[in-house]
Amino acid sequence: MVKRSPDIQIKKPPILFKNTQEVIKSIKSKLDGDFLSYWISSNGELMDEDVMTFYKLVNKKEVKDKLYLYIKSDGGSGIGALRIINLLRTYYKDIIALISGDCASAATMLALGANLIKMGPLAYLSAIDTSITHDMSPIDDKFNDKVSVSQNELDRVLKLWEQRKGKKDYNPYGSLYDYIHPLVFGSVDRASSLSIKLTKDILSYHMADIAKADKISNHLNSAYPSHSYPITLKEAVQIGLNAENLDPKMNELLLQLNDLYSEMAQRANTDFDEQNYHDNEILKIIEMEGEQIFYQQEKDWHYRKDERRYIPLNDESSWRTAQFNDQGEMVISKYHLR
């Protein structure tokens, strides 16, 4: 049970809707289509359910043929990326991805759904090889959490064994199964196949050359020694993506928007004691002109010593919308999504 002292003031992050709308208006004045920002903090991730918030925004807009999609995320669900692209393609013929910073993993998949990717000097995509956290995954001794396992890691272990095995060395799986459950091997292989298919399907929305889509997909899924390897503009062009430099003035406006979102997504933890704290952090922001939708984590955390882990309590996390009323005042309401 979390005991809250009445003297403790719960920290709340700022909602900078007025400021972000001013920047978005400046951005839109330089574009010949709609502008939509999809910003995820380092503590959040792209998820399947996010597609419903996109629908809420674009469904009631008088949409145009072209959408400029600003993406900032470290990744998440590849299936979520496919669903978002499928939705946006229902409303827009052309999509231009605007990247000013990190756009990694599943966010890279999302960017692949654009006809054109514009990248600033700080922008990068990444490899999209899949790692999973399975129910039977190994346990991290330090934090008592399940460890994610990737196909690339398993392949490299087996490759090293093949290169260095002696005459008396036999099948390595017997030893590996002592650390990684056989079901994890199967699930990782399945996830890797899924990642390749998702990438091909996303590219197919605008790329008619199937062979080229296959080549790009396989390259992004297997050619890099690290999942976090930064694919800059030069590398993106070399692997066959339709990418070009982002206009410097547009890049500066996107960085201004990123600064405002980062301020909104600042850590907002309130400590009650050594074992309990309240988390009020904003994890995701999706915004167009006139409306902002953000996901705010709002719950208590209690540390169980015997389990060596934190458990959530009193969870009131939800999507919230910010809009201006007829008097020009900001109104925030919860957007219920299950």
pLDDT tens figures, 262-296: 999 999 888 888 899 999 999 999 999 999 999 99
- Calculate mean pLDDT across residues 77-105: 94
Instruction: Give the number of other CB atoms < 10 A from CB of residue 154.
Output: 17
Q: For residues 338 and 336, give the distance between their C-alpha atoms in angstroms, rounded to a whole number.
A: 7
If asked whether residues 121 and 136 sit together in one domain, one would say no
Number of domains in the chain: 2
DSSP symbol at 146: B
Give residue 153's pLDDT: 65
If asked whether residues 163 and 148 sit together in one domain, one would say yes
In a domain, 72, yes or no: yes
Q: What is the pLDDT of residues 161-217, one digit of tens each?
A: 676 666 666 677 666 777 776 766 666 655 567 788 889 999 999 999 999 999 999
In a domain, 215, yes or no: no
In a domain, 232, yes or no: yes
Tell me the C-alpha to C-alpha distance, in Å, between residue 297 and each of 5, 84, 163, 247: 21, 22, 48, 35
| Close Cβ partners of 15 (under 8 Å, ≥ 6 residues apart) | 264, 294, 322, 330, 332
In a domain, 211, yes or no: no
Token pair listed for 56: 């809420």
If asked whether residues 54 and 183 sit together in one domain, one would say no
Token pair listed for 165: 């095995």
If asked whether residues 108 and 178 sit together in one domain, one would say no
Q: What is the pTM of this model?
A: 0.85
Q: For residues 249 and 122, give the distance between their C-alpha atoms in angstroms, rounded to a whole number.
A: 14
Give residue 141's pLDDT: 67
Q: For residues 206 and 208, give the distance between their C-alpha atoms in angstroms, rounded to a whole number.
A: 6
If asked whether residues 139 and 105 sit together in one domain, one would say no
Tell me the CATH number at 250: 3.90.226
CB 134 within 8 A of CB 187: yes
Q: What is the DSSP string of 283-317?
A: EEEEEETTEEEEEE--EEEEEETTTTEEEEES---
Q: pLDDT category, 2, cuts 50, 70, 90?
A: low
Q: What is the pLDDT of residues 17-34, one digit of tens each?
A: 999 999 999 999 999 999
Give residue 168's pLDDT: 63
Q: For residues 45 and 275, give the distance between their C-alpha atoms in angstroms, rounded to a whole number.
A: 26
Give residue 188's pLDDT: 61
Q: For residues 204 and 83, give the distance between their C-alpha atoms in angstroms, rounded to a whole number.
A: 13
Q: Of 239, 233, 234, 232, which is closest to residue 217 (Cα–Cα)? A: 239
Q: pLDDT category, 306, cuts 50, 70, 90?
A: confident
If asked whether residues 171 and 233 sit together in one domain, one would say no
Say yes or no to pLDDT of 321 above 80.
yes
In a domain, 10, yes or no: no
In a domain, 229, yes or no: yes
If asked whether residues 29 and 135 sit together in one domain, one would say no
If asked whether residues 244 and 115 sit together in one domain, one would say yes
If asked whether residues 80 and 143 sit together in one domain, one would say no
If asked whether residues 297 and 272 sit together in one domain, one would say yes
Say yes or no to pLDDT of 7 above 60.
yes
Query: Which residues form the domain of 155?
Result: 131-189
Which is higher by pLDDT, 137 or 26? 26
If asked whether residues 151 and 230 sit together in one domain, one would say no
Do β-strands 243-245 and 116-119 pair in parallel, antiparallel, or remain unpaired? parallel
In a domain, 162, yes or no: yes
If asked whether residues 154 and 275 sit together in one domain, one would say no
Give residue 176's pLDDT: 74
Q: For residues 226 and 211, give the distance between their C-alpha atoms in angstroms, rounded to a whole number.
A: 25
Say yes or no to pLDDT of 258 above 80.
yes
**Mean pLDDT over the full length of the chain:** 87
Q: Which residue has the tokens 């934190």?
A: 310
In a domain, 37, yes or no: yes
